Amino acid sequence: MTTANGYSLFWKSQVAVLLGASLFTGPVLAHPPQTSPGITVQVYNWASVEPDTLTAAQAQTNRIFRNAGVAISWLNCPLSIPEAQAPPVCMEPCPPSRLAVRINSEMPSKLAKTSLGVALSDGGIYATIYYPRVDEYAKEGIATHSQILGHAIAHEMGHLLLGPKPHARFGIMRGKWTAEDLQSMTMGTLLFIPHQSALIRQAAFGEWRRPLLEQRHGKPH
């Protein structure tokens, strides 16, 4: 297996409102049209991934979700601003109106060898990517760091939005990615399958939110 697989039960609550780009270290991308579903994602780059790599990874995630009919707005939270000066949105738990992605520089000791991350909703709505594992898979020479990171982010966000047992036999939500899947990343063809795209659009519009708010848990896989 050559990728991350997180597991969680959570649905997106509403079309999020963009905050001013001046509050964050990076630009806000892909402003969702008012008539289309959108997701706002705040990013904590705790692994200090190079800005160009992170921007390219976010572009990959944008493309994957755009194919599913959903736009993403990114809020890149600063890492070095003193607490008193940090934007409140970056200091408080992520609310139901947004998702959060944390890119970590360290991995849990018991993390499965094939897992890049985890999705959970305890105390917020978070997806965590373990960047050392991204680096390991990039060394295989099939997909780049940004391609792997972007697809891993999309996969973990998928876990947060799709509800229980979101894995499929095909596409980005496969339980086990193969070398062929990594090759598909490079071709831009590793995507959500149609019924997953429909569910993600419904989640982005805030449908079926309440049952999932009552079933919060998460684990890596």
pLDDT value, residue 176: 79
Position 149 scores a pLDDT of: 98
- Tally Cβ neighbours within 10 Å of residue 213: 13
- CATH number, domain 6-206, options 3.40.390.10, 3.40.50.2000, 3.40.50.280, 3.40.50.720: 3.40.390.10
Alpha carbon distances (Å) from 180 to 37, 59, 190, 217: 31, 21, 10, 31
Q: Flag whether pLDDT at 134 surpasses 90.
A: yes
Residue 193 near residue 170, CB atoms below 8 Å: yes
Asked if residue 35 has pLDDT above 60, the reply is no
- At residue 80 the predicted structure's pLDDT band, cuts being 50, 70 and 90, is low
> What residue ranges do the domains of the chain occupy?
6-206
Query: What was the pLDDT predicted at 174?
Result: 87
Read off the pLDDT of each residue in 160-184 and give the average, rounded to a whole number. 86
Specify the higher pLDDT residue, 99 or 92.
Answer: 99
Bigger pLDDT: 136 vs 13: 136
pLDDT higher for 96 or 53? Answer: 53
- pLDDT exceeds cutoff 90 at 83: no
At residue 204, the pLDDT reads 85
Q: Is the pLDDT of residue 102 over 90?
A: yes
Q: Is the pLDDT of residue 47 over 70?
A: yes
Residue 8 has a pLDDT of: 36
pLDDT at 220: 44
